[in-house]
Structure 1
């Protein structure tokens, strides 16, 4: 399915819109860790992930995510080899002040808190952000009117990724989250896998994904602020 927002970003926004830019040093984290923290810190209920590319090397650049907000602004998070770069693009009359005044100091603080945690805690936080990304991926596929097979596997990835993270599974409300994901896996599995996800089911699935995302964002943030 055509990703209209991504096409607009690549063909128009990058060259024509104003933007605010911040750069954050990796130290004392590796590239993967800071990218994941930045993903979570920039993310919110109002944000839609319209594109993500991940590199397999934890100590090299190459990962990039592009967000679109309900205020019609775009955010790109890019792991370069020497620094993490975040750009916020806004139309005429808009600003990117939040990136400088809120996102950057919050990310710098979380970087230090994360670096001081035990290895197991770090792993669980990163795996929880992985679930966050999977939920975002699923929501984007639904909004792109993609086929049932892709949506089924995206929901399954989120459910299975969450199932091995104690921080997630032990949290209050986790059983309801897994129940909702199981329900939608079953629903999607029973549909024609190569057909577009039914319009009649879109509001219900997006509502549940939004509820799960809100719960998950709060859970992860709590562990990054203590």
Structure 2
């Protein structure tokens, strides 16, 4: 399905809209770890993931994500070989300085916190952010009115990714999250797989995905504050 927001970003916004940029060094994390952490730090329930590409090498650049907010701002996260760059694009009358203040400060603090975690817990936090991304990718497919088959596998991917993360599965509310994902998998499996996901089911699925996302964002942030 056509991703109009992404097309608009590539053709106009990335070159013509006002922007603000911050540069963050990787140390003491590697490229992949900081990219995941930056994704989580820039993300919120009001953000939509319209594009993501991951580098195959965790110690090299090449990862990119584009988030779109309900305030019509775009956030571009790009992992280069030497550092990570976050750029916010905004309509001319809608500028704010949260990128340079709140986001950079939070990211620098969380970078140090994550680096001090024991290896197992650190990996679990990063895997939880992976689930966060999977939920975002699923929500974007729903908003694009993509076919049911893709949405079915996206829900399943999020559910299976979460199932192997103890801090996720042992958290209060995790069983309800898994029940909700299972319900939508079963419902989607019974649809015509090659037809667009039914519009009458979109509000319910998006509502559940956003509820789960809010719960997960809080869970991850809690572990990054300790």
What TM-score do you get using the length of structure 2 for normalisation? 0.99
Which residue does the alignment assign to 1:90? 90
Report the Cα offset of residue 51 of structure 1.
0.3
Which residue does the alignment assign to 1:208? 208
SS at match of 2:193: coil
Which residue does the alignment assign to 1:50? 50
Report the Cα offset of residue 94 of structure 1.
1.8
Report the Cα offset of residue 17 of structure 1.
0.3
The runs of 5 or more residues in structure 1 that have no matched partner are none
Report the Cα offset of residue 86 of structure 1.
0.1
Within 1, Cα distance between the matches of 2:204 and 2:65?
26
| Residues 18, 90 of structure 1: 8 Å contact kept | yes
Which residue does the alignment assign to 2:181? 181
Report the Cα offset of residue 96 of structure 1.
3.9
Within 1, Cα distance between the matches of 2:161 and 2:67?
22
Within 1, Cα distance between the matches of 2:193 and 2:66?
28
Which residue does the alignment assign to 1:75? 75
Which residue does the alignment assign to 2:157? 157
What CA deviation, in whole Å up to 9, does each residue of 1:61-95 have, x standing for no partner? 00000000000000000000100000000011121
Within 2, Cα distance between the matches of 1:211 and 1:188?
19
Which residue does the alignment assign to 1:121? 121
- How many residues were matched structurally? 226
Within 2, Cα distance between the matches of 1:96 and 1:82?
27
Q: Output the aligned Cα RMSD.
A: 0.5
Which residue does the alignment assign to 2:106? 106
Which residue does the alignment assign to 1:30? 30
Within 1, Cα distance between the matches of 2:202 and 2:217?
22
Within 2, Cα distance between the matches of 1:80 and 1:94?
28
Report the Cα offset of residue 182 of structure 1.
0.1
SS at match of 2:29: coil
| Residues 37, 107 of structure 1: 8 Å contact kept | yes
| Residues 89, 96 of structure 1: 8 Å contact kept | no
What CA deviation, in whole Å up to 9, does each residue of 1:29-72 have, x standing for no partner? 00000000000000001100000000121000000000000000
Which residue does the alignment assign to 2:14? 14
| Residues 31, 79 of structure 1: 8 Å contact kept | yes
Within 2, Cα distance between the matches of 1:151 and 1:93?
36
What TM-score do you get using the length of structure 1 for normalisation? 0.99
SS at match of 2:127: helix
SS at match of 2:98: helix
Match status 1:167 vs 2:163: no
